[in-house]
Structure 1
Amino acid sequence: MTTVQILNGIDTIGGNVVSFTNGSTQLIMDLGVNFAPHLPTASDLYAEGLLPQVPNLFTNEKTREEQPVVFISHLHLDHMGALKYLTRATDVYMSPMSYKLYQSLVQQGLETAPSNAKLHLLEPNIPYQFGNLTVTGYVSDHDEAGALMLKVSDGEHTFVHSGDVRWNGPHPERVTHWVNLLQQETVDLLLLEGTEFSFDNDDKTAGFTEQTLQEHFQKILVASPKLVVINPYERNVERLAALIQSAQSAGRQIVWDQEFSQILQDVLQIDALVLNQDVTWDAIEQNPQAYVVQNHFKDLRELNHFTQPFRYLHLNGEPLGDYDPRYQALVRYLKQRQVALELLGASGHAKTTDLVQIAQAVHAKLTLPWHSFKPERLADALKAQGLPVQVPVKNEIFEF
């Protein structure tokens, strides 16, 4: 018998954790943690239920003889942020691209070194056997280049963790590929993210895609004589590379901080210009229309070296949203500088219509919506299409 337990992440955007157990083998898919700055320690997070209740992973109590094996669908904090809290040696699998990015983030001090995580590569399209369970990862499209869809099989049943996914990004063929593969077999359980069902505006076609974001970015660079400052997210390395190309097309060069430039070198082998090393603030002051400056929130005061007006584009960098107290600090600083906060982001998540289409194509015996503030909205949309669906509750167990 295989049991599937939803440990976290049902009615939140993030903190996703699901367990697959067969005999003595337990596989944990994703190990995210929700934003909770008021709970600084692992024991606090565990006590409040923000870490999944898996004693072997997060306490000194050992309830299973065989240590669980962890799989990370992608490197966003809400899917892997709890790795640093592991209390004993644990095998952790992720895609080669995610592994490369993770190593760079740790070296740059942008991610805490996971002392108890024994990292392994999960090569795409290759089945990995763990007891009676087989895990196969398929390259997907999200705003982290190493994102995977994860499939688990016990020989009789097939379970699918979609991971975070979009179908209107730069690699729709990846999603089409794994959707087509799943159509050729019987999927017993599909865990499907429902992020875009969280919001009331229900904008099925509005908003930037990665492509239109770059087009708009180029227009800003061409039209503005001012210095343009950008705040992107370091884990979206494909967007960083595209920003460099867009800036070059507009006759500008992007100047990066040391951390971002090292990530570009480590992950994509791109030699980037480094602020205060290759380009100085004096040079930027003299010719602002020739440059774009990347600025991380923690280095916000670095912009004091530039005395002229500038434009500030927030490209999904930190702080990630207004739920973070740092967001208001950013707003206050820009107001003091008389600079508008311009939001120029693109979602890494599928449109509502695309999520329904994915579920229809896979046509699982049962679909579980999660990773959404409003999972019931996705459930209702799927029920309207005649699909079997159930909104799970935390720690609910499904037996196969």
Structure 2
Amino acid sequence: MQTIVRVLQGLDTIGGNIVAFEREDSRVVMDFGTTFGPTNDDTQSLLTERKLPNIPEFFLSEVKGHFTHNAIFISHLHIDHMGALQYLADTVDVYMSPEAIQLYLTLQSLNSEPATKANLKPIFPEKPVQVGELTVTAYLSDHDITGAYMFRIQDGFHEFVHSGDVRYDGPHSERVDYWTKILHDNQPDLFFIEGTEFSFENKSQHRETEASLLLDFEKVLQQTNELVVINPYQRNIERLFSLQMIARKMGRELVWNHEFATILKNQTAKHVHEIAVDVSWSEIEQEPNKYVVQNSFNDLNDLNKMNNFVYLHMNGEPLGDYDGRYAILENYLTVRNIPLQLMGASGHATETDLLKIAAAVNAKLTVPWHSFKPELENRALQKLGLKTNLPHLDEPMIFED
């Protein structure tokens, strides 16, 4: 018998990385994201253009597959890792962390995520899930979103690993230490490791972390009596709560828009303040030094109510100049004579930390992906003495029992 591993997307892109593990009548698919924005293209066109993975039976109800046991496992709820779920034609079991399920359902209720035919099922840390001949175990990891996992896939003879997106300088590096040691002790046959940071040249010498971001935020609150406006990413729940805690510590209330407030209320019993519900713009205008306001791009003109404010861009949308809205944001602030202060932190490990993780795992075969330049990471891994592979799309990697 044998297990076949096929990379379906994401070999030279950041995100959209999808891999299938197949054995007998059983198949598990790791992550199910997209790298494209909203489109009017029909599903068949997306398949033909390879914008969706080559699993037509998942997307076209008239196509029947031969796997009796099928499941998709989502490492975390970033669009580039789960955005294709909206295109499912029939009900498919989709596993993700309980926190990710809660967030996903909330986003759907807010129309921030399209409906899906996914049959959402929770997978709990270190509680194996059986899908036919394959066993999947999740491990908590560190990324800039709630409920991020690393996955181990076992067939009784081999062990395969999908790192998911990972960093080593976040608030939960101990999670990464924990699973790298477990993997090292078992030496996996195959280790898929992300390589986002190998994509970019001319990196800044200063790397912001979640911890330093929070310290910088506190310093801003200490140094100004103006209203402070933040534009964070809605799915980084842990950061949002930390920002709220620091604001209260500094004598300010953080006020959220409806979408953010709903997400936070559904994630905790703690009270959050919503703009125009708990706090009015009139109250903020009268005492701006008592508030921090979360402002999304779509609500940008709400800031016309204020004569002056400090604007902190914290990985919210639009994230960078590749997005046409970024120029609009820059122009709006320039006209208002307000500096655009960047205060973001990456969810991805540095090049050095990626190599450290790969060396610690010491798999029999390591595959770099989730990068514009996987060949750079590949060479760096080889210099460490690791055996690597840069597969082609749909190329079967065969593991015999």
Q: Is residue 58 from structure 1 mapped to residue 59 from structure 2 by the alignment?
A: yes
Mapped partners of 1:201, 1:305: distance in 2: 39
- CA–CA distance in 1 between the matches of 2:58 and 2:343? 38
Counterpart position of 2:104: 102
1: CA distance, partners of 2:49 / 2:270:
42
Q: 1:54 corresponds to which letter in structure 2? A: I
Deviation at 1:380, TM superposition (A): 1.1
> What is the CA distance between 1:173 and its match in structure 2?
0.8
Counting only pairs closer than 5 Å after superposition, residues 225-304 of structure 1 correspond to structure 2 as: 225-304=225-304
- Answer whether contact 1:67 1:90 (CA < 8 A) is retained: no
RMSD: 1.4
Specify whether residues 312 and 45 from structure 1 end up closer, same or farther in structure 2 by C-alpha distance, changes over 3 A only. Answer: farther
Deviation at 1:226, TM superposition (A): 1.5
SS of aligned partner of 2:119: strand
Alpha-carbon distance in structure 1 between the residues aligned to 2:330 and 2:64 = 46
Deviations 1:275-313 (A, max 9, x none): 01111111111111111100111222222232x111211
1:331 aligns with 330
Match of 2:171 in 1: 170
* CA distance in structure 1 between the aligned counterparts of 2:42 and 2:324, rounded to whole angstroms: 19
Distance 2:65 2:184 in 1: 38
Q: Distance in 1 between matches of 2:114 and 2:369?
A: 27
Report the secondary structure of 2:186's partner residue.
coil
Q: CA deviation at 1:374?
A: 1.1
Match of 1:210 in 2: 210
How far residue 337 of structure 1 moved from its aligned partner, in angstroms, is 2.2
What is the CA-CA distance between 1:250 and the residue it aligns to? 2.1
TM-superposed CA distance for 1:10, in Å, is 1.1
Give 1:168-207 correspondences, 5 Å limit: 168-202=169-203, 206-207=206-207
Say if 2:102 and 2:267, in contact at 8 Å, map to a contact too. Answer: yes
8 Å Cα contact 2:231-2:315 kept in structure 1:
yes
Q: Which amino acid aligns with 1:397?
A: P
Instruction: Give a deviation string over 1:341-388, Cα, whole Å, max 9, x none.
Output: 211100001111111011101111110000011111111111111110
Quote the residue 1:7 is aligned against. 8
Q: TM-score, normalised by structure 2?
A: 0.96
Tell me which of 70, 82, 87 is aligned to 1:68.
70
CA spacing shift, 1:65–1:168, aligned 2, 3 Å: closer
Shifted more, 40-49 versus 207-216: the winner is: 40-49
Report the Cα offset of residue 38 of structure 1. 5.3
Partner amino acid, structure 2, of 1:177: Y
Counterpart amino acid of 1:82? Answer: A
The aligned counterpart of 1:42 is 43
> Is 2:358 the counterpart of 1:356?
no
Q: Please report how far the alpha carbon of residue 113 of structure 1 lies from its aligned counterpart in structure 2 after TM superposition.
A: 1.9
* 1:381-400 alignment runs, 5 A limit: 381-400=380-399
Contact 2:69 2:132 in 1 (8 A): no
**Distance in structure 2 (CA, Å) of the matches to 1:268 and 1:183:** 36
Matches of 1:223 and 1:244, distance apart in 2: 18
Give the AA of the match of 2:55. Answer: V
Q: Distance in 1 between matches of 2:303 and 2:118?
A: 37
Q: How many Å separate the matches in 1 of 2:260 and 2:269?
A: 12
Distance 2:393 2:225 in 1: 53
How many Å separate the matches in 2 of 1:391 and 1:225?
Answer: 54
> How many angstroms apart in 2 are the aligned matches of 1:58 and 1:12?
22
Aligned-partner SS, 2:94: strand
In 1, Cα distance between the equivalents of 2:160 and 2:67?
A: 25
Describe the SS at the equivalent of 1:184. helix
Percent identity over the alignment is 49
Q: Say if 1:321 and 1:38 are closer, same or farther in 2 by CA, change over 3 A.
A: farther
Structure 2 gap ranges (5+): none
Q: Note the alpha carbon deviations across 1:161-210, whole angstroms, 9 max, x for none.
A: 0000011100111111111111111200000000111111255x621100
Measured in 2, the distance between the counterparts of 1:320 and 1:52 equals 26
User: Displacement of 1:67 after TM fit?
Assistant: 6.0
Code of the aligned partner of 1:399? I
Q: Conserved in 2, the CA contact under 8 Å of 1:253 and 1:290?
A: yes
Does the CA contact (< 8 Å) of 1:164 and 1:193 recur in 2? yes
Q: Please give the alpha-carbon distance, in whole angstroms, between the structure 2 residues aligned to 1:101 and 1:76.
A: 11
One-letter code of the match for 1:383? Q
* Cα distance between partner residues in 2 of 1:396 and 1:110: 35
**Matched residue pairs, number?**
397
Aligned to 2:372: 373
Report the CA distance between 1:65 and its aligned residue.
Answer: 5.0
2:344 alignment partner in structure 1: 345
Mapped pair 1:146 → 2:147: yes
How many Å separate the matches in 2 of 1:268 and 1:230? Answer: 21
Distance across 2 between alignment mates of 1:369 and 1:39: 32
1:98 aligned partner, one-letter code:
A
CA contact (8 A) 1:141 1:169 kept: yes
Residue matched to 1:80: 82
* Structure 1 residue 130 displacement after superposition: 1.3
Aligned residues of 1:56 and 1:68 also touching (Cα < 8 A): no
1:113-137 CA-partner distances (Å, limit 9, x unpaired): 21x1000001110111111110000
Q: More deviation in 125-134 or 156-165?
A: 125-134
Distance 1:188 1:252, change over 3 A: same
